[in-house]
Amino acid sequence: MALGGGIFVVVLVVVALAAPLIAPFDPVRQSLRGRLAPPTLAGADGRAHLLGTDHLGRDVLSRAIYGARVSLLVGLAAVVVGGIVGASLGLLAGFRGGWTDSVIMTLADAQLAFPFILLAIGIIAVLGPSFPTLIVVIGLSGWVTYARVLRSQVLVLRSREFVDAIHALGGSVARVIARHILPNVLSSLVVIATLELARAIVLEATLSFLGLGVQPPTPSWGGMVHEGREYLDSAWWISTAPGIVLMLTSIIVSRTGDWLRDLLDPTLRGE
Amino acid sequence: MRGLLPFLATRLLRAAIALWLVSTVVFVVMRLSGDPVPLLLPPDAPRSEIFRVRAELGLDRPLPVQYAVFLGNVLRGDFGRSIHFRQPAFQVVIGYLPATLQLGLTAFVLAALVALPIGVLSAVRRNSLVDQTAMGLALVGQSAPTFFIGILLILIVSLNLGLLPTSGRENWRHLVLPALTLGAFAMASIARLTRSAVLEVLRADYVRTARAKGVAETLVVVKHTLKNAAVPIVTITGLQFGTLLGGAVVTETVFAWPGMGRLAIQSIYNRDYPIVQCTVFLSALLFIVINFCIDLIYGLLDPRVRSS
C-alpha cells in the first residue's frame, strides 16, 4: 500500500515534469472536425485519442497530463506557503507567549470555526483568479495545523533546562529553533504537509470547477470536469477521465499521509 | 450546573470574535477590489455623477470611518443593494436560504442515518468483511472531491439508469442526489468516528466486567457501550453539520439547486458584490450559530467539557 502510494506520487511528478514529452497531442490545439470523439485505440497514423477528445476537439489524455502540472504546482506551492506562514506564527506564538500567543491562537480558532471555501470564493471573486492568488489563498487555508504543532513543541522545550543553558551560554533563539525544535517536529511536519497536499489539490480542483481557479484554456483537472459537464450524456469521458485521476490522486496522497503518520508519529493519530 | 455560565461566555466571546474577523476580511477584500462606483453607473456617466455616488456611498470618507459605518450596517443586516436584482442584498439572500437549509438538513439526516449503524456494526464486527468494505468506502468518501461525486452520481444514476432527475428543485426526487453528494463527506467521517468511539468504549473495564458477568453480547453493546460512546458521537456528528455548509456551494452548483451557494457563485459572475458579501457573512453567521448550539448541547451533556 505504502509502496504503491509512493510509486503513484513519483509517477505523477514525472508525468507532470515530462508532460511535453509524454503527451501525445498539443493540449490546447483545437480540431473542430474531431470534436467529441470517444476513447479509442485505433487512430489514424497510429496517433489515437486514447481518452477521446472534448467539445473543441482537444485530446483529453494530453490535457489530463498537462493538468497534473497545474495540480502539483498549485498544490506544492500552497503547501509551502501554508507551511511557512503556519510555522512562523506557531514559533512566534510559542516563544513570545502572552498577548501575541492569544491573538495568533484566536485567529487559528476563528479560521477553523468557518468553512474556508466561502472566504476563498469571496476573496478570489474580488481579486480575480490568477496563479499567485490561488496559491496564497489555498496556502493560507491550511496554516493552522502547522502553527499548532510548532507552538506546542516550543512550549514543551522552552521550559527545559538545556534551553535555559543555551540561552545562558549566549546561544540565540534561532539556534534553539534550528537545532532543537525543528528536528523534533520534522516528522510531524512531513505528515501534515502530505495531508495538506491532498487537501490543496482538491481545493484547487474545486475552485477551478467553479470557474474561480485556473482559467481556460490552461488545462486543469477541475476545469476539465467543469467543461465536460454539459456533455455528460453524449461524451462522458471529458469529465470522468480527469475526475478519476483527481480522485485517485486525492485518495492515494491522503492515504500516504495516514500511513506516514502511523509510521513516524503515532501521537498525531486522531487529530 | 456550576461552570456552565463561564463556559457559555467564553464560547459566545469566541463566536463574536469569529464573526468580527469574517466581517473585517470581507471589508478589506471589498476595499482591495477597487472602486465599485463605475460598476453602478453607465460607462458614459459624467465625473460629477461619479463624485455624487461616491459621496452617497460614503467612499470619500477616511477608511476608519468607512470601516465603522460598514460594521454598523452589518449589525443592522444592511449589505447594500444588489446590482443585479435591484433589491436590498439581504432580502435577496434570505429568499434563497430555505433551499439551502432543506438540502443541508436532508444531507445531514441522511448521512447520520446511514453512518451511525454502519459505524457501530463495523466496531462490533471489527476486521470483518463488512468492516473492511465500509471503512474502505469511508476513506473514498472522505477524500473524493464533492463535485466529482456529484458528477458521477448524475452520470450513473440519472443518465445511465434514468432513475432520478439531474437538476432543479421540484419534488423529493430532485433532492436525493444532491443530498447524497453533500452528505458523502459527513457520512464517511461520522462512520469512521463512530467506529473508533465504540471501539474505545468496548475496551473499557466496565464492558469487560459486564461480559465477565455473563451479560449477553447484544446487551453489552446496546446498554453499556452505545450510551457511553454517545457523547463524542453527538459532538462530532453535530460539527459535521456546520462543515456541510461549505460543501453546499459546490453541490448546489453541480445540481443547479436554487440555494445560497449557487446564488453566491452566480453573483460572482455578475460582479454583484453586495450579494457575495451578504452570502459569505450569512453563511458564517449560520455556521457559527450552529457550532455554538452544539457546544451548548455538549456542555450540558458532559460537565467535563466546561472546565477545559
Whether the CB of B197 is below 8 Å from some CB of chain A: the reply is no
Confidence (pLDDT) at A267: 62
C-alpha distance from residue B94 to each of A155, A158, B72, B97 (Å): 46, 51, 19, 5
Contacts with B195 (C-beta within 8 Å, 6 or more apart), sequence order: B119, B120, B122, B123, B131, B135
With CB atoms and an 8 Å threshold, state whether A251 touches B243.
no
With CB atoms and an 8 Å threshold, state whether B250 touches A123.
no
Average pLDDT over residues B243-272: 86
Query: Which member of A119, A232, A247 has the closest CB to residue B145?
Result: A247
Residue A128 · residue A213 · CB < 8 Å? no
Higher-confidence position of B165 and A208: A208
Q: What is the pLDDT of residues B186-197, one digit of tens each?
A: 899 889 988 988
Whether the CB of B136 is below 8 Å from some CB of chain A: the reply is no
With CB atoms and an 8 Å threshold, state whether A126 touches B32.
yes
Q: Which residues of A touch B243 (CB under 8 A)?
A: 115
Q: Cell 437549509 identifies what position?
A: B101
The C-alpha atoms of residue A186 and residue B187 are separated, in whole angstroms, by 33
Residue A13 · residue A71 · CB < 8 Å? no
As given in the structure block, the three cell numbers for residue A206 are 474545486
How many Cα atoms occupy the beta-carbon half-sphere of B241 within 13 Å?
24
Query: Which member of B22, B30, B154 has the closest CB to residue A232?
Result: B154
Q: Give the distance from CA A148 to its chain's centroid.
A: 19
Confidence (pLDDT) at A271: 41
Rounded to a whole number of angstroms, the distance from the CA of A19 to the nearest CA of chain B is: 24
Contacts with A41 (C-beta within 8 Å, 6 or more apart), sequence order: A48, A50
With CB atoms and an 8 Å threshold, state whether B268 touches A212.
yes
C-alpha distance from residue A48 to each of A24, A44, A156, B71, B210 (Å): 8, 7, 60, 60, 67
* pLDDT value at B80 more than 60: yes
Query: Which member of B140, B148, B277 has the closest CB to residue A246?
Result: B148
Q: Which of B233, B229, B225, B231 lies closest to B191 in space, CA to CA? A: B233
The sign one gets for the Cα dihedral A233, B260, B284, B114 is: negative
Confidence (pLDDT) at B168: 82
Confidence (pLDDT) at B129: 92
Confidence (pLDDT) at A268: 56
Q: Which of A83, A185, A205, A69 lies closest to A139 in space, CA to CA? A: A83
What are the backbone angles phi and psi of residue A159, rounded to the nearest 5°?
-90, 0
DSSP-derived 3-state class of residue A120? helix
Rounded to a whole number of angstroms, the distance from the CA of A66 to the nearest CA of chain B is: 19
Q: Which residues of A touch B269 (CB under 8 A)?
A: 211
Confidence (pLDDT) at A168: 81
Confidence (pLDDT) at A161: 78
The C-alpha atoms of residue A204 and residue A75 are separated, in whole angstroms, by 7
How many Cα atoms occupy the beta-carbon half-sphere of A90 within 13 Å?
26
Q: Which residues of A touch B254 (CB under 8 A)?
A: 229
Q: What is the pLDDT of residues B93-107, one digit of tens each?
A: 999 999 999 999 999
The C-alpha atoms of residue A28 and residue B237 are separated, in whole angstroms, by 45
Q: What is the pLDDT of residues B292-305, one digit of tens each?
A: 777 777 777 666 65
Rounded to a whole number of angstroms, the distance from the CA of B1 to the nearest CA of chain A is: 26
Three-state secondary structure along A17-61? HCHHHHCCCCCCCCCHHHCCCCCCCCCHHHCCCCCCECCCCCEHH
| pLDDT confidence bin for B154, thresholds 50/70/90 | very high
Confidence (pLDDT) at A129: 86
The C-alpha atoms of residue B204 and residue B209 are separated, in whole angstroms, by 9
Query: Which member of A123, A126, A246 has the closest CB to residue B145?
Result: A246
Q: Which residues of A touch B181 (CB under 8 A)?
A: none
Confidence (pLDDT) at A265: 65
Three-state secondary structure along B227-279? HHHHHHHHHHHHHHHHHHHHHHHHHHHHCCCCCHHHHHHHHHHCCCHHHHHHH
| Mutant choice from B23, B35, B143, B266 vs A, greatest count of A C-beta within 10 A | B143
Confidence (pLDDT) at A45: 58
Rounded to a whole number of angstroms, the distance from the CA of A37 to the nearest CA of chain B is: 18
Query: Which member of A106, A118, A229 has the closest CB to residue B151?
Result: A229
Rounded to a whole number of angstroms, the distance from the CA of A76 to the nearest CA of chain B is: 18
State which residue of chain B sits closest to A271, comparing Cα positions: B193
Side chain identity, residue A143 = W
Residues 16-55 of B with CB under 8 A from A: 17-18, 21-22, 25-26, 29-30, 32-33
Whether the CB of B218 is below 8 Å from some CB of chain A: the reply is no
Query: Which member of B18, B254, B276 has the closest CB to residue A114?
Result: B18
With CB atoms and an 8 Å threshold, state whether B287 touches A114.
yes
The C-alpha atoms of residue B18 and residue B27 are separated, in whole angstroms, by 14
Q: Give the distance from CA A248 to its chain's centroid.
A: 14
Q: Which residues of B touch A199 (CB under 8 A)?
A: none
> What's the complex ipTM?
0.86
Confidence (pLDDT) at B82: 83
What is the mean pLDDT for each group of 10 consecutive residues in chain A (271 residues)? 78 88 82 78 69 84 92 94 94 88 84 74 80 92 90 82 79 79 84 91 93 88 92 88 93 87 67 41
The DSSP output letter for A217 is T
Confidence (pLDDT) at B287: 79
Query: Which member of A119, A205, A247 has the closest CB to residue B25?
Result: A119
DSSP-derived 3-state class of residue B88? strand
* pLDDT value at B244 more than 60: yes
Q: Cell 449503524 identifies what position?
A: B117
Q: Which residues of A touch B33 (CB under 8 A)?
A: 126-127
With CB atoms and an 8 Å threshold, state whether A115 touches B143.
no
* pLDDT value at B118 more than 90: yes
